[in-house]
Structure formats: structure tokens, C-alpha cells
Chain A
Amino acid sequence: MLRFIATRFARALVTIVMVVTFAFVVLRLSGDPALLIMSVDAPPEAIAAFRQAWGLDEPLWQQYLKYFGAIVQGDLGRSMRDGRDAIVLVTERIPATLALTLPALAIKLGIGIPAGVYAALHRNSLTDRLVMTTAVLGFTVPSFVLGLLLVLVFAVQLGWLPSGGQGTWRHAILPVITLGVGGAAVLARFTRSAMLEVLGQPYIRTASAKGVPWRLVVRGHALPNAAIPTVTIVGFMVGSLIAGAVVVESVFSWPGVGRLLVVAVANRDLAVVQCILLLVAATMVTSNLVVDLLYGALDPRLRQMRAGGAH
């Protein structure tokens, strides 16, 4: 088991290094920060001085080695725009993003999973069809469309809620709903099919045949098995807590990590973009790792296979 965790951890590190490297190279090949930040009309000497100050005049591989050396020591660089540490800039935005993504996650789980379970238990009923039709709508409509639609109805027409910005909890309602709907729809569909798969298994019939009331068959026999595939999707959702709101934050001008990313990319603020990508990769990889460990907790077959591999 320890060896399993160790290999998984090593693999996670490799993934993060690859993401960081890729971001580093692509960012540097796709535009000159000096020109963007200093503006094209700046005197050539000023631009040259800027490049020298940020080490942009060095060969790419040298920049990369320096950058990597700094990361290892915990230094994620400074913003080219205001000179502050990138990590500070990013972390001060995290609470705002979590203020949207955490309630949205609660909506996804709280609506998606029960709706999927209910639909599966009442397969082909009117409610099932209704839930599934809503779900298809929910995840086919892109979030910016849904966001704008909500703004149109609840902010512009009805005037019940603010259309954007951050201030009171009322500002968060529309973006949270926009974020939550799509995920809830995906989760509902996924949970339904996982449940249907499990409900068709012989061991469900066995449980009924030994006199277990249906409600307990569902709770004790069907749900624990259906949870195994569902955990994967939930893991992805947890992994995207930091970076999952880029579009929605832009639509609602919400000052979170997502908007910082959009602005930083537009400005080629290299350290900030890299810092965000590193953070995103780290959360995604961590939640994947947790999902893998959860699989083991949920499925004894897997647990044993891993234990066997560790001998």
C-alpha cells in the first residue's frame, strides 16, 4: 500500500513538472511580455532594460533552469505588472473563487446525486424522463450562455439580483447557480447510469431474495457499489475548484483566480500565469490521488490487488 502511494505520488509530481514546463515554453513562445507591458511605442532602450531586468534576454533553456531552480526553493517569481510576489497575488484571489466554487460543488453533489439515484430507481417514469431531459439541457447549454441568460432574466428584467461584481452574498447567487447547474446535470446522468448498472446485478436480487427491504437494498447494497464510478466524476469536480470558474468569473466580473488568469494571460504576466497553472495542476493531481485512494477504500477487490502488488 505504501509503495502504491509512493508510485502514485511520484507520478503526480511528474505530471506537475510536465504542466509547468509546457506552460513555461508556450508562454514564452507566444508573445513578448516586454512589448505588452511597456507598450509597443516604448523606447527600445527601455524595452531592452525591461528584458534584462526580468531575464528575458537569456536563452530559453537558461531561463527555464533558473525558473525551475527558484520553484524548488519555493520562489514562484514576481508579477511583471506590479512587482509583487505571484504567489501572493494568486492566493489572495483564492477565497473569492472558493466562495463561488464551493457552494457550486454543494449544488452539484446535493442535487446531481439524489436526482440521479431517484431517476434510476424510477426508471422510465415521468420523473425520470423529466430529470434526464433537464440534465441534457443543463450540460449542453454552455456556462456563458446560461450565465448571460440568468443575468438577462434576474438582473435586467426582474431586477432581483445584481448582474456582476462582488460585494454581498447576493452577488454570488447567479454565478454559483451558473456553475452548479452544469455539474449537477453531469452528475445526475452519471449517477443514474451507475445506479442502473448496479441495480441490474445479481447481488441486488440476492439481497431482495433474503428479505432485505428495498430501501435497505438500495442503501446498503446498491449505493456503495454505484459510488465507485461516481467518485471519479466527483474527484474531477473537486480538482477544478480553483480553476473551474474562469468563464463564469469573467461573465460576472468576479475577482477570483479565473479572472486573474485571463488578465495575466492577456498581459503575458508570465510568473502569475505559471503560478496559477502550477496551482491548478497541483489541485487536480491531488484530487486524483485522493480519488485513487478512495477507490481502494470503496472496492475491496482493488484494495487487495494493490496490497498484492506491494509484496
Chain B
Amino acid sequence: MSLVSIRGLAVAFDGVAALRGVDIDIPRGGALGMVGESGCGKSVTWLAALGLLPSRARVTGSVMLDGQELLAAPAPALDRVRGGRIAMIFQDPASSLNPVHRLGKQVAEALRMHRGMAGAAARAEAKRLFDQVGIPDAARRLDAYPHELSGGQNQRVMIAMALAGQPELLVADEPTTALDVTIQAQILHLLNRLRRETGMALVLISHDLGVVSETCEDVAVMYAGRIVEQATADALFAAPTHPYTQGLLAALPPIDGPRRRLAAIPGGVPEPWAMPRGCAFAPRCAHRHGHCDAEAPAHHPVAQQHSAACVLATRELVAA
């Protein structure tokens, strides 16, 4: 059984759909990368799953954690899940930490919530966590404030804080986007190492296919509030099926071979309040035909653990 199983998750803000039916399964210890451009719903998926969206958001569908439904869960149950079983870190570490509290105190708060630790024990554990995520001079950093640390160090603090509850799943929402490239690599290595050490599952949300493929076995590509293709990272790179995925890969610069002009996908993402009735990508798609405008395509299996929400997928299956 999956650790987390999301079915038909949809989110609407003031009646405008931001997420339009998402299915995700996260196996224990698995790593799923979620890619897509900003606004495609990859962050909203997890904020909705954990009940972190503002109250004006209307969330429907189902999010099961080990057979426990999270969407209908009462607040105390949800508080135990957040940080205790599913932890989340965010894009901008500097503003994601409270500016008026010492870092050690912020980590200790998670320790108190989920492991009942306080005082010297909490401080010792916080120091151990700081060491584990590679914060130099950990003992002194416990007494520092967020503004005294660099972005990369603050993200390490966020990760330490996320680890404090010994979660089974860590959702990292664009954890490296606000950081320098060299620091990005360090943080990704850290996440990989922590996964190996703790056996926790990882969801890595990114707009960067390269970042995701380095860290995750599985990748889900999102477009306009839906997952349009899901596969292992290898399969996705080897045989992208959805024209949007193909477009994303064509837009990546090749590391070897001749220099070429990068291919851009023409057009733009449709606005959420003007979503086409059929496939949301159809207006930009080179392979568009009659079927595409009639109804939104369902997911079709392309191969083992590889599916795409595109009529092309059915044709390739037939051809195979």
C-alpha cells in the first residue's frame, strides 16, 4: 500500500479552479519529482493535502495517509501529521523562518510538538539535527536569528526543522530556487543523503527538470492544474510521450553536442478562468486534432509505470 495516496484532488480559489483532479501515489521511501511551470498546481497539491491553504480555497477529492483521510481530518489530527509524518519545506528559507525567534527555539518547537522533548534534551537534539544537515558551528547557530545566516544555511535549518518530527515524507517545495547554483547542488545532495539515512520518502517540487531527475526515481509533469505525464525519470527522458513533456525536454540545453537554439513552446498557459473544455495544452500543441477539444484526455498507460494524459498515448500503445 502507498504511504500517501491522492485521488481526484481539486482546488478552487473563489470558484476559479487551480487544481483539476490530481492522482498521486507515494510509496514508502519513494521519491517523486513534480515539475511544471509556476502556477501549474504542483505546490497547491501539497498545501491542499496538508490543509495549509487559506480558508477561501475549496478543496475536494481524497488524500489518504496510511489509510487515514486527511482532507476531513480534525485539526489536532492534522497537526500531528504536519511535521510529524509529512514535513514540508519551502522556496524562500529566509522568510519561511520566524524573524523574531532564535533558530534553536524554532527547531525545538517541532521537537516539542512531535517528540515531547523540552529543555536541554531538545537543545541537544536540535544541535544533533544541525550537525546532521551540515550546519557548521551548530551549537552557536542554535542561538542565531534567521537574518544572521545565508539563504543556504537557512534552508539547512528548515530541513533540520523538518527532520525534527522524524517524518515519513518530506515535501520540498522548490527548495533550491532561491539559492545560488553551487548551494543548490549542496542542498540536493543533502536531501539525497538524508533520504538514504532516514528512509523517508521525498516529493521534490521544481520547475527544473534537471534538478528533479538527479534526485527522484519518478517524475510527474504537471500542466494547468493536472498531471499530464508520469513515469520513471529514465523513461521520461528516454521516451517523453506528452507533447508538453517533449517541449520541456527540447527546451533543456544539451550538455554535449553542438550548440543549438533552444526550442520554446509557443503560446502561454491558459488562464485558470478561461480553461479550454478539452485538453488544456491543445492550443499550444503541434499534434492537436479534433479529439483534443472535445474532452480532457484521461491518463493512458504508455509502458510499465508510465502514463500520459494525451490521445497520442493511445496511438502509441496501438502501434506497439
- List the interface of chain A (C-beta within 8 A of B): 201-203, 205-214, 220-221, 224-225, 228, 298-301, 304
Residue-wise, chain B 262-291 has the 8 Å CB interface mask toward A (1 for contact) of: 000000000000000000000000000000
B79: nearest residue on chain A (CB-CB)? A211
| Cα(A203)–Cα(B92), bound, Å | 10
How many chain B residues touch A (CB < 8 A): the figure is: 34
Given contacts A213-B76, A213-B79, A300-B147, contact A206 B99 (CB under 8 A): no
Report yes or no: A210 in contact with B100, Cβ–Cβ below 8 A.
no
Taken together as a complex, chains A and B put the C-alpha atoms of A299 and B75 apart, in Å, by 31
The verdict on A224 contacting B100 (CB below 8 Å), with A211-B114, A211-B165 known, is: yes
Does the CB pair A301–B147 fall under 8 Å? Answer: yes
CA–CA, A220 and B101, complex, Å: 9
Give A22 Cβ to nearest chain B Cβ, in Å.
39
Q: State whether A202 touches B96 (Cβ < 8 A).
A: yes
Is B95 an interface position by the 8 A CB rule?
yes
Q: Are A203 and B109 in contact (CB-based, < 8 A)?
A: no
Return the chain A residue nearest B92 by Cβ: A202
B75 touches A220 (CB 8 A): no
- Nearest residue (CB) in B for A124 is B56
> Within 8 Å of chain A (Cβ to Cβ): is B130?
no
Can you list 16 A-B contacts with CB-CB less than 8 angstroms, sorted by A residue number?
A: A202-B92, A203-B98, A205-B96, A206-B90, A206-B97, A210-B82, A210-B165, A211-B80, A211-B114, A212-B113, A220-B109, A225-B99, A225-B100, A299-B99, A300-B99, A301-B145
Q: Tell me, in angstroms, the Cα distance from A225 to B97 when the chains sit together.
A: 12
> Shortest distance in angstroms between A297's beta carbon and chain B's nearest beta carbon?
10
Question: B47 to chain A: which residues have CB within 8 Å?
Answer: 205
Specify the chain B residue showing the minimal Cβ separation from A215.
B75
In the bound assembly, the distance between CA atoms of A203 and B75 in angstroms comes to 19
Chain A residues contacting B81 (CB-CB under 8 Å) are 211
State in angstroms the CA–CA spacing of A298 and B100 once bound together: 7
- Residues of B close to A202: CB separation below 8 A: 90, 92, 95-96
With a CB–CB cut-off of 8 A, which chain A residues contact B202? none
Asked, given contacts A220-B109, A300-B147, A301-B145, whether A213 binds B75 with beta carbons under 8 Å apart, the answer is yes
Quick one: CB contact mask for B68-85 with A, threshold 8 Å, 1 for yes?
A: 000000011001111110
**A210 & B99 in contact (Cβ 8 Å cutoff):** no
Contact partner, A210, options B76, B95, B110, Cβ 8 Å? B110
- A202-B90, A205-B52, A300-B145 known; A210 vs B162 contact (CB < 8 Å): yes
Nearest opposing residue in chain A for B114, CB measure: A211
Shortest Cβ distance from residue A48 to the other chain B in the assembled complex, whole angstroms: 65
Bound CA span A224–B114, Å: 23
User: A211 contacts which of B92, B95, B113, B158 (Cβ < 8 Å)?
Assistant: B113
**B87 beta carbon closer than 8 Å to chain A:** yes
Within 8 Å by CB of B96, from A206, A211, A212, A224, lies: A206
B194-214 CB contacts (< 8 Å) to partner A: none
CB of B26 within 8 A of chain A? Answer: no
Distance in angstroms between the alpha carbons of A207 and B50 in the assembled complex: 13
Would B88 and A209 count as touching, CB distance under 8 A? Answer: yes
Residues of A within 8 A of B109 (CB): 207, 210, 212, 220
Is there a chain A Cβ closer than 8 Å to B133's Cβ? Answer: no
Choose one: B75, B95, B161; the contact of A201 (CB below 8 Å).
Answer: B95
* Docked CA distance A205–B101 (Å): 15
Are A301 and B87 touching (Cβ within 8 A)? no
The 4 closest A-B pairs by CB, nearest first: A211-B83, A210-B83, A211-B82, A300-B145
Partner of B98, one of A213, A214, A225, A304: A225
Rounded to whole Å, the gap between the CB of B163 and the closest CB of chain A is 11
Pick from B47, B82, B87 the residue with the most CB of A within 10 Å. Answer: B82
Tell me how far the C-beta of B50 lies from the nearest C-beta in chain A, rounded to whole angstroms.
7
Residues of chain A within 8 A (CB-CB) of B148 are 304
Q: Which chain B residues border A208 with CB–CB below 8 Å?
A: 52, 82
B99 pairs with A209, CB closer than 8 A: no
Contacts A201-B95, A301-B145 hold; do A209 and B50 have CB atoms under 8 A apart? yes
A210 touches B113 (CB 8 A): yes
- Residues in A whose Cβ lies below 8 Å from that of B52: 205, 208-209
Closest residue to A122 on the B side, CB-wise?
B55
Instruction: Give the complex CA separation of A206 and B165 in angstroms.
Output: 14
User: Within 8 Å CB of A211, what residues of B?
Assistant: 79-84, 110, 113-114, 165
Please name all residues of chain A whose beta carbon is closer than 8 Å to the beta carbon of B114 when the two chains form the complex: 211
Contact of A203 among B80, B87, B97, B162 (CB under 8 A): B97
Residues of B contacting A224 in the complex (Cβ-Cβ under 8 angstroms): 100-101
Q: Name the residue among A208, A209, A228, A299 with the largest chain B CB count within 10 angstroms.
A: A209
B158 cross-chain contacts in A, Cβ below 8 A: 206
CB distance from A26 to the nearest CB of B (A): 44
On whether the beta carbons of B99 and A301 are closer than 8 Å, the reply is yes
CA A224 – CA B98 in complex, angstroms?
10
B165 to chain A, nearest CB (A): 7
Nearest residue (CB) in B for A221 is B98
B65 to chain A, nearest CB (A): 13
1/0 contact trace for B164-178 toward A, CB 8 Å? 110000000000000
CB distance from B160 to the nearest CB of A (A): 11
Nearest chain B CB to A173's CB is how many angstroms away? 39
Which residues from A are CB-within-8-Å of B80?
A: 211
Say whether, besides A211-B110, A300-B145, A203 and B82 are in contact (CB < 8 Å): no
